[in-house]
Structure 1
Amino acid sequence: MDIYLHFSDQATEAIAFYETVFKTEPAQIMTFGQMPHDEEHPVDENIKNLVMNSNLKINDTNVMISDSPEGMAPPIVVGNNVALVFNAKTADEASNIFQQLATNGTILLPLEKTFWADLYGMVKDQYGVNWHINLY
């Protein structure tokens, strides 16, 4: 299981802080400007340098960190900026877990293929816990 931290526009600053605090290797970082070009959904110049995804190892835990620009993600509210990440081993497992978490919950991003994963989706369960479901 991994942890995901979301920020409005402070991900780069937070990453540097956590690297220093926990004396980690430098995080692997991808910005919104590094996403594949999509004519139907161009990336706004104002967010190109924001962090789309990063991966920081703290002890043996993956701590993923990103910015959540307005219009591309739910608004950041202290308390919803932390998510648990489940890395499924099969598509069936990803679908089953996603659907169970969505029961009486809210689908934030449907489980579907992305350019970085075979399946990826975001769901808030009935208890208000945010989950990211991945299949790589």
Structure 2
Amino acid sequence: MALINPHINFNGNAEEAFNFYKSVFGGEFANITRFKDLSIPENPIAEHEANKIMHIALPIGKNVLMGNDVPERMGRVNENENRSKIAVSAESKEEADRIFTGLTDGGSIEVPMNESPWGSFFGMFRDKYGIEWMVDFDPKHKGTV
């Protein structure tokens, strides 16, 4: 079965956001590449963007959460837009609560964690970086969407 691995664009705070995500999900980064690592004379990187993230990857279970900073020359990411949400399927109610509580720190809750009308334990929010998440535990489908 194919895996879906979300990729998020940031306006210069990808590293901060991914350290936050790592503090909630645990694990280690599989990759961190900075723009300076790819600088060549034909494509120089602005000095103030040299340490920004070109690619970062955090394995979460069998999936990978990826992201990058968008270079200024490519425009800005609208952090208030209604982006697609990242859906997390927890393996237990306790795990769902822990992830929801961790990721909502500094964010805004749209739907508090609670029993849903469709029989799962569900919550929805925007984290402090503007990324929208849904956390779900469905006892009928442990760990699957």
| TM-score normalised over the length of structure 2 | 0.50
Deviations 1:59-97 (A, max 9, x none): 22111111012113x42013476699xxxxxxxxxxxxx
Task: Return the structure number with greater strand share.
Answer: 1
**Is 2:52 the partner of 1:50?**
yes
Contact between 2:29 and 2:57, CA under 8 Å: does it hold in 1? no
1:77 corresponds to which letter in structure 2?
N
Separation in 1 of the partners of 2:58 and 2:67? 8
User: Helix, strand or coil: the match of 2:73?
Assistant: coil
- Unpaired runs of 5+ residues, structure 2, are 87-145
Deviations 1:34-65 (A, max 9, x none): 0051x232111010000000111112211111
Separation in 2 of the partners of 1:80 and 1:29? 27
User: Helix, strand or coil: the match of 2:56?
Assistant: strand
Q: Cα 1:30–1:82, aligned 2, differ >3 Å: closer, same or farther?
A: farther
**Is 2:30 the partner of 1:30?**
no
Identity %, equivalent residues? 30
User: Helix, strand or coil: the match of 1:46?
Assistant: helix
- Unpaired runs of 5+ residues, structure 1, are 85-136
Separation in 2 of the partners of 1:80 and 1:32? 28
Q: Cα 1:67–1:83, aligned 2, differ >3 Å: closer, same or farther?
A: farther
Deviations 1:79-125 (A, max 9, x none): 476699xxxxxxxxxxxxxxxxxxxxxxxxxxxxxxxxxxxxxxxxx
**Is 2:6 the partner of 1:3?**
yes
Q: CA RMSD in A?
A: 2.3
1:14 corresponds to which letter in structure 2?
A
Q: Cα 1:64–1:83, aligned 2, differ >3 Å: closer, same or farther?
A: farther
> Number of aligned pairs?
82
Separation in 1 of the partners of 2:85 and 2:12? 17
Highest Rg: 1 or 2? Answer: 2
Contact between 2:29 and 2:56, CA under 8 Å: does it hold in 1? no
Match of 1:77 in 2: 78
| TM-score normalised over the length of structure 1 | 0.53
